Chains A and B, each alone.
Chain A
Amino acid sequence: MKQTRNWVFLMLLLLLGVMISACSNDNDKKDTNKVPTNVPVTTDTPQEIVVRINDDPDFLDPHKATASISYQMILNIFEGLMAPETDGSLKEGLAESYEISQDGLTYTFKIRSGVKFHNGEDLTIEDIQYSFDRLMGKNGGEKMSNNFDNVASTEAPDTTTFVIKLKEPNSNFLYSLTARQAAIIPKSNDGKHNENPIGTGPFAYVKYAPGSNLVLKKNESYWKEGLPYLDKVTFAFQSDDQAAIMSLMANEVDLTSVPWQRVNEVENSHHLSHQNNNSSLIVTFNETKAPFDNIKVRQAMNYAISKADIIDSVFAGYAVPLGSNMSPAMGDYQKKGLEDKYKLDVAKAKALLAEAGYPDGFKTKITVSSHNDIYSNIAQIVAANLKEIGVDVEIEVVEWGIWLDRVYFGRDYTMTTIDLTGRASAYEILNDYISTNDSENFFLFKNEEYDNIMADVLKETDTAKQIAYYQRAQEILAEQAVSVYVADYQIVWGSDKQVIGLKSYPFWFHDMSEVKFSN
């Protein structure tokens, strides 16, 4: 009898303990949070990093993958003939050097020697031929990309030379030769590129556990002397931003994006780096449907929607305003000053609406995806802004899959908001989604001058003249008020203070090749 009572008492104590610790105040929480960074650093810091990623890759096969999130990870495994630089330019990758003929049609690449695949085999010209054949669907399979429709032929005159001939000159062609578009993979691995991906990059594939993580290990025979430093890279999948930041604080991950509103919680204990995402966050319209087929209405929207409101409340200030698709992250390619073309002006917006035949405003609907809170938050600000000019906006929040189906592919919508992912190439930024020759033009914008520019720029080889074309294209986007170009938001990366060597690119890529833990 007595024993039982003791036991019951113990149980009660246990329960009470849990309750008390659940109610304890956060004074001691702050102390323990700092513990990881105060721990004395030992000289043999393990060179192993855990990077948090929002979602699983779609494919590990670099030719099959399309989602930016996949490349964020797998670009560490694969390389292309050309390699991206952090400033958006290109340098030689697996090609040691290249030459472009006068007419801009023949590209001759000299292949780097001494490069090994992760399985120990040497990189040969057959592997390069195989990779391009696979992409273009020439070795039996289906065509895997539309990027090489312009290629007339490919050939390998000797064991270190690879020649690509184009049908028409294309000044953007080199951008299709990075690992993002044309990774070089070994012929011997045919049929297993997704199950057991093999490349030449700084890290080799170890294991993929769906929903859990992707593990890579150091490529000991990487052709860049002395690189990489890390022995092991783990990309851990965690969809919830709030949970991810707790993992960062608990030292379970070494690198993650930090929700803008929570930056101050980690700014003392962790290293923060700000990446201009190079994406453009837009509020856009179906330009074939009334009233947005009227340029005056679109301009009125531009005058009425406050970029500052959105930047402050959704991104806590971590964003730069835009005037076209092009972000300042693209340097000289960006036409400066367009972001001020439509300064917030309610009276002007009202006047434009009246001129367009809507003196009392109208009713409309904005359809946004639920996969990230930012879209519905933006929609709320847009609705509030537009109410002031008499436009009544109904907000419809749908699942990502439905958004893709209905808005992006189905084009059955009137208004939406989305961010267009950053690309390394100015051409792709301006052509994709906008010009009529692009199948992804989901706001159905149509402008002859714009299409001509996008066609002409490909024939231009002089960079200064290309820039002039691109800047004019941006002016057209602003003049025609194609969208409300809101902002390029920053991604704030929080990392362990010991992590150094992180690089940021104008697109999504966690380049781990030069990362290490300092002592």
Chain B
Amino acid sequence: MMYMIRRFILLMTTILLVSMITFGVFQILPGDPVRTMLGTEADATQIENLRSELGLDRPLYEQYTDWIKGLLTGELGHSIRFSMPVKDLLLDRLPVTMSLAVLTLTIVLMVSLPLGMFAARRQNKLSDVSLSTLTQIGMAVPSFWLGMMLILYVGMQFSFFKISGYIPWSQSIAGALSTLILPALTIAIPQIAVNFRYVRTAILEQMQLDYVRTIRSKGMSERNVMYKHVLKNAMIPILTVFGLIMAEVVAGTIIVEQVFSLPGVGQLLITAISNRDFPLVQGIVMYITVAVVVINFIVDILYSVLDPRIRLR
């Protein structure tokens, strides 16, 4: 219980600090939301009207305290660029980003775990060496480039894949997959490379320990040695890396959504920043902060599940 309360206080402090930093950056950043939105065609009347309508003529600290008050009552305010509640915009786009993140993580897990195990067992053999080389390349590839290549050489070749936009799950499951698989692969490939290397190392470390020799000499099958003992013990360091990867994936969606024109939270963030849409940026930054803190929280809990000796305090 104490642990939960402390976690919650930590979350609140993080949110407050992050929001203050965002606010501070917005103070320094040149550019005006109303002018950016209306462009060169607006006359002075229209600019003034909109500014007072949005409450942007009030002092900045007042806009910030209002925002904080709203946050405490669960309100994220109104987007300047889209003239609708930030909450609606976020809720509209969260399913896209969430699906993308979950799909990416599934791919990363499904590929990197077995590959890592495979390579560890065949340490220094040709398959291990070639896999390690491949992953070296995978880590070095920038995701925007990878996305473009996947569009060109996979998306354009197979009519199944959509290279832009998003089809909701509720409309068609195949449709949703056709829009999400390529972006998910784009984020996943470099992360697979990272995770693969950690899995391989973690398993190799366990394999050299005394208990492995003992259970082997006891006559336990190689299969049971791997799954019942080695893998379980190797999970702790893997989990740590996986927590980091999850945070990477959340960040990775920002670039990838841009490349694939996916209407997710990341794309919204870019629009919000270039339009100086302060309430919207704050809302999205809150989402990312909460997501990262929650991921870390889950990882901490999983530690104690995997290794009962670890107690949450």
CB-based contact B40/A440 at 8 Å: yes
Q: Which residues of B contact A212 (CB under 8 A)?
A: 165-166, 263
The count of residues in chain B whose C-beta lies closer than 8 Å to any C-beta of chain A is 61
Tell whether A89 is near chain B: CB-to-CB under 8 Å. Answer: no
Q: Which residues of B contact A402 (CB under 8 A)?
A: 30-31
Q: Smallest Cβ distance from A111 to chain B, in angstroms?
A: 27
Q: Which residues of A contact B155 (CB under 8 A)?
A: 246, 250
- Which segment of A16-24, A323-331, A340-348 sits at the interface? A16-24
Q: B264: nearest residue on chain A (CB-CB)? A: A211
Q: What 1/0 mask marks residues of chain B from 222 to 257 whose CB sits below 8 Å from any chain A CB?
A: 110000000000000000000000000000000000
CB-based contact B149/A211 at 8 Å: no
CB-based contact A209/B45 at 8 Å: no
Q: Smallest Cβ distance from B21 to chain A, in angstroms?
A: 20
Q: Which residues of A contact B84 (CB under 8 A)?
A: 210
- Which segment of B111-119, B283-291, B295-303 sits at the interface? B111-119
Q: What 1/0 mask marks residues of chain B from 100 to 136 whose CB sits below 8 Å from any chain A CB?
A: 0000000000110011011000000000000000000
Q: How many Å lie between the Cα of A421 and that of B83 in the bound state?
A: 25
- Which segment of B200-208, B269-277, B305-313 sits at the interface? B269-277
Tell whether A59 is near chain B: CB-to-CB under 8 Å. Answer: yes
Q: A11: nearest residue on chain B (CB-CB)? A: B114
Q: B42: nearest residue on chain A (CB-CB)? A: A66
CB-based contact B37/A58 at 8 Å: yes
Pair count A-B, CB < 8 A: 165
Q: Which residues of B contact A59 (CB under 8 A)?
A: 83
- Contact partner of A409 (CB less than 8 A), chosen from B35, B45, B46, B259, is B35
Contacts A22-B149, A29-B157, A252-B164 hold; do A243 and B39 have CB atoms under 8 A apart? no
Q: What 1/0 mask marks residues of chain A from 408 to 446 whose CB sits below 8 Å from any chain B CB?
A: 110000000010110000000000000000011000000
- Contact partner of A211 (CB less than 8 A), chosen from B43, B118, B263, is B263
Q: How many Å lie between the Cα of A11 and that of B134 in the bound state?
A: 14
Q: How many Å lie between the Cα of A11 and that of B119 in the bound state?
A: 13
- Contact partner of A21 (CB less than 8 A), chosen from B33, B154, B259, is B154
The count of residues in chain A whose C-beta lies closer than 8 Å to any C-beta of chain B is 61
Q: Which residues of B contact A28 (CB under 8 A)?
A: 157
Q: Which residues of B contact A11 (CB under 8 A)?
A: 110-111, 114-115
CB-based contact A66/B46 at 8 Å: yes
CB-based contact B271/A211 at 8 Å: yes
Tell whether A401 is near chain B: CB-to-CB under 8 Å. Answer: yes
- Contact partner of A33 (CB less than 8 A), chosen from B50, B151, B156, B221, is B156
CB-based contact B163/A250 at 8 Å: yes
CB-based contact B31/A405 at 8 Å: yes
Q: Smallest Cβ distance from A334 to chain B, in angstroms?
A: 22
Contacts A144-B49, A209-B92 hold; do A1 and B221 have CB atoms under 8 A apart? yes
Q: Which residues of B contact A209 (CB under 8 A)?
A: 92, 263
Extra contacts, 11 of them, besides A29-B156, A246-B163 (Cβ < 8 A), are A1-B221, A21-B154, A21-B157, A67-B37, A144-B46, A211-B263, A246-B152, A247-B261, A252-B164, A399-B274, A408-B40
Q: List 17 A-B contacts (CB under 8 A).
A: A15-B111, A23-B153, A29-B152, A66-B41, A67-B38, A144-B49, A146-B44, A194-B83, A212-B263, A213-B165, A236-B165, A243-B259, A243-B260, A250-B155, A402-B30, A404-B31, A404-B36
For the complex of A and B, the 6 pairs showing the least CB-CB separation, nearest first, are: A401-B31, A401-B36, A212-B263, A66-B42, A8-B118, A66-B38
